[in-house]
Amino acid sequence: MCGIVGITSNKQVTSSIINSLRKLEYRGYDSAGIATLNDGFINEVKCEGRVDTLEKNLSKIKIEGTIGIGHVRWATHGSPSTVNAHPHSSEKVSVVHNGIIENSTILKKYLIKKGHKFKSQTDTEVIVHLITEYLKKNDLKKTILKVLKKLHGSFALGIIFKEQPDLIVGARRGSPLAVGYGPNENYLGSDSYALKSMTNKISYLNDGDFCIVKKDQVEFFDNKGNKVNKKILKLSSNEQDYDKGDYKHFMAKEIEEQPTTIKNCVNEYINKMSGDINIFNFPWKSNEISSIVLIGCGTAYHSCLMAKYWFEQLTNLDVGVDIASEFRYRKNRFKKDALYIFVSQSGETADTFAALDLCNKNNMKTCSVVNVVESSIARESKFVLPIHCGPEVGVASTKAFLGQMLVLYILCLKFAQMRKEIKKNVYMEKIKSLFLLSKLAKKSLETDSKIQSVCSSFTDIKGSMFLGRGYSFPIALEGALKLKELSYVHAEGYPAGEMKHGPLALIEDGLPVVVLAPRDEYYKKTISNMQEVIARGAKVLLITNKSKDEVHSENIWEKIEVENTSEDLLPFLLTIPLQKLAYYSAFKKGYDIDKPRNLAKSVTVE
Ligand code: AGP
C-alpha cells in the first residue's frame, strides 16, 4: 500500500505535495513525510500519524524547493513511527517507496559491510544506500538499472538526487505508478487521483519501466534501459464524486448512493426496450468457454462467491472461485476453455494483479470487473467490464460490492442467453426485475432507524455471527467482514447449516447473531438453524423479506424486512442493512469510519 507523489516545477512544491498526499491517504495513513531539494541540500520533514500532522509540522519547520517527493505510509517493515516514515534519505538521494523489498536483509548486510549506516527498520532504506553506493561508479541511468535489477519484490519509487536537482526518477514493479503532465511542471503519483487537481493528462508506467521526470520533459525506459513511448491519456473530471457533501463520512454517502449506482449500471448494460445486454466486442465465442474461474480479495472475493451461485443456477458452466493470494501460488491446472474473471474495485490489488498476470502469461482468456477503468488490472486484462459506480473513497467497500455483484449477474444472464440455457420469458422477467432493483434498494436504505436502535448490541461484545444459506451465505460473509473492519469486533460469517459442525459451541447467552433468511428455497432450513442458536441463548437479529406469512419462530430479538424481488436479486437488498449495521456500530464507538485502523483502500502489497 502507501502512496507516493513527486513534483518538479518552476514554483514551490511543498503545498501541492501536501494536497496530493491528502488524496493518497486512502492508501495508508500511519505516517507521512516530504523531502525537497533546495540549494543543493535534501530537506526532510516526517511524522507519525496523518497528513494533517505533517502539515502542522511544516508550519514550524519550513522547507522550500521546486522539486520534491512525498509519502503516506502503511507499515510493512518497521512500526509506524517518525523514523520509519518515508522519505528515507542519504546525503545524496531521497526515496519514497510503495511495496516490499523481499531481499532487504541480504542487501542490508552487504551495504553495512560497505560502511553504510542505517537509521530505520524499513526495507526501503536499502534502496537509498544501494543507489548511493552505485552512484559512486556509475551515471544516473546505469545506477537505476543496476539497483532495480538487485531488488526483489514489489515497488513504485520516487527518487530525488542531490546532484541532479532538475529531475525525479520513478520506477515500478508490481506497484502502480502514473506520470502527470502540467504547465511548466510534471508529476509522479501512485494514481491519477493524486494528480487530478493538477492535471488530467496522465501516462502509466508498465511493469518494469522507469522514467526520468523533468519539469519540461518526461522520458520512459523499459527494464533494459531502452527508451519507450507512452500514450498520454486524458482523464474525465469528476472531482465532485470525491466530495462527501453533507454526509459525515464517505461511507455514509456511498451507502446512500447505491440506488443510483444500481440504476446507472443497469442502464449502461441493458437496453430497456429490447432487454438486450450490451456487452460488445467480447473477444470469445460462447462455445469457446465451458468454465469460469472468479478471482478476487476481500469484498471482491465475496462478490465472486455470490456469482458462483448465479452461474450455477442459470448456466451449465463449471464455476470455480478463488482468493487471489491463494490462486497465485497454487499449482493451477490452466484450462484453455476457461474464462478467468478478476474482480477488483481499485484494479490495483497486488494479489489480484499477480493472479491476472499469471493467467496472461499462460495465455488464458482474462476478463476483469473493475471500478477504476484506468487501473493496472483493467489495462492488463483482455476484456474489461466496468461497474460504473463512481469513485469509492471509504476503505470499507459498499457501492462497489453491489456494483460488482450486478455486473457479474448481468454477465451471467448474458452467458445463459448466449448458451441458450435460459427461456426467453424467464430472461425477460429477470431483466424486468433488474430495472426495478434500484427502487427496492432505496427502500432498504429506510432500515436506518431500526439499525440505529440495534447497533449498540454489536459494539461491546466478545463476538458475533452472521448466518445464511445459498445466496445469503456470501452476504453473511460480507456482513461479518464489514463489522470487523469498522467496529473492530470479532464477527464470523458462516453457512447456517455448518453451525452444528463446530461453531455452535461459540453460542452463549446474549451472543448477537445476524440470521439472513429471505423467503427463498433455503428459508425453512435457515429458520431451523436459527432456532438452534436461539435455543442456546443467541440474540438473533433476523433479516428477511416482507411477507404476509409470519416467521414461525419465537424469541427472535429483532427483525428487519427488506422488499420483495426475485430470489436471486434478494442479496442486493439484504446487503444494505448489514452495511448500515457496521457503519452505525463504528459510529457509536467513535471510530474512524472512512479510515479504519491498520487498513488501506488499495492493497498494493501482497
Ligand atoms: C472491503 O471492505 C475491504 N476494504 C477489502 O476487503 C477490499 O474489498 C479488498 O482489499 C479488495 O480490494 P479491491 O476490490 O480494490 O481489489
- The count of other CB atoms within 10 Å of the CB of residue 302 is 29
Joined grid coordinates for residue 221 = 525506459
**In Å, how far from its chain's centre is CA 466?**
23
For ligand 1, what atom is nearest to the CA of residue 400?
14
- Of 322, 296, 321, nearest to 310 by C-alpha is 321
**In terms of residues, how long is the chain?**
606
Give residue 237's pLDDT: 64
Report which of 32, 102, 80, 23 is spatially closest to residue 598, judged by C-alpha positions. Answer: 80
Q: Can you read off the three cell numbers belonging to residue 454?
A: 440495534
Nearest CA among 481, 471, 468 for reference residue 299: 481
Residue 235, classified by CB atoms within 10 Å of its CB into exposed (0-12), middle (13-18) or buried (19+), is: middle
Q: 518: domain range?
A: 450-590
* Beta carbon of 487 within 6 Å of any ligand 1 atom: no
State in Å: Cα 463 to ligand 1 middle. 22
Q: Which residues lie closer than 8 Å to 302 by C-beta, 6 or more apart?
A: 401, 474, 475, 477, 478, 481
| Residues ≥6 apart with Cβ < 8 Å to 540 | 513, 514, 515, 530, 533, 534, 555, 556, 557, 558
Using a 6 Å cutoff on CB, does residue 604 contact ligand 1?
A: no
Q: 203 and 341: one domain?
A: no
Closest CA to 562 of 552, 571, 551, 554: 571
Judged by average pLDDT, the poorest of 239-248, 286-295, 318-327, 388-397 is 239-248
- Res. 602 pLDDT band, cuts 50 70 90: confident
Q: Is the pLDDT of residue 191 over 90?
A: no
Grid cell for residue 189: 503519483
Give the pLDDT score at 174.
82
Q: How far, in Å, from the CA of 600 to the mean position of ligand 1?
A: 9
Tens digit of pLDDT for each residue in 11-58? Answer: 999 999 999 999 888 888 899 999 999 999 999 999 999 999 999 999
Residue 314 sits in the same domain as residue 398: yes
| Residue 306 burial (10 A CB sphere; 0-12, 13-18, 19+) | buried
Q: Give the full edge-to-edge strand order of the sheet including 41-48.
A: 41-48, 31-38, 67-73, 3-9, 185-189, 178-182, 201-204, 233-234
Using CA positions, which residue lies closest to atom 6 of ligand 1? 298
Residue 600 lies in a domain: no
Annotated active-site positions, please? 2, 601
Please indicate whether residue 391, judged by its CB atom, sits closer than 6 Å to ligand 1. no
CA of 300 to the centre of ligand 1 (A): 6
Give yes or no for a contact between 472 and 522, defined as CB atoms under 8 angstroms apart. yes
Q: Are residues 256 and 228 in the same domain?
A: no
Burial class of residue 197 in the structure, from the number of CB atoms within 10 Å of its CB (0-12 exposed, 13-18 middle, 19+ buried): middle
Mean model confidence pLDDT for the chain: 94
The reply to whether 218 and 350 lie within a common domain is: no
Residue 177 lies in a domain: yes
Neighbours of 141 (CB within 10 A): 14
Give the CATH number for residue 488: 3.40.50.10490
pLDDT digits (tens, 9 = 90+) for 216-245: 999 999 999 999 999 998 876 665 567 788
Which one, of 365, 324, 328, lies nearest residue 344 by Cα? Answer: 324
Residue from 603, 605, 606 to probe ligand 1 pocket by mutation (most atoms less than 8 Å from CB): 603
Q: Say what percent of the chain tops pLDDT 70.
A: 99
Same domain (yes/no): 208, 266? no
Q: Could you give the number of structural domains in the chain?
A: 3
**Best substitution site from 26, 74, 254, 297 to test ligand 1's pocket, by max atoms within 8 Å of Cβ?**
297
Ligand 1 pocket member 303 (CB < 6 A): no
**Angstrom distances, CA of residue 166 to CA of 36, 80, 183, 209, 594:** 11, 31, 16, 20, 37
Do 22 and 50 meet the contact criterion of CB atoms below 8 Å apart? no
Atom of ligand 1 nearest to the CA of 482: 2
pLDDT of 76 > 90? The answer is: no
Q: Find out whether the beta carbon of 298 lies less than 6 Å from any atom of ligand 1.
A: yes
CA distance 450 to 467: 19
Tell me, yes or no, whether 434 lies in a domain. Answer: no
Q: What is the pLDDT of residue 238?
A: 61
> Would residue 597 count as lying in a domain?
no
What is the pTM for the complete model shown? 0.82
Same domain, 464 and 575: yes
Asked if residue 437 belongs to a domain, the reply is no
CB atoms within 10 A of CB 492: 18
Domain with residue 119: its CATH number is 3.60.20.10
Pick the atom of ligand 1 nearest to 599's CA. Answer: 4
Give the pLDDT confidence score for residue 462 in this predicted structure.
84
| 258 and 390 belong to one structural domain | yes
Ligand 1 closest atom vs CA 398: 2
Cα(425) to ligand 1 centroid in Å equals 36
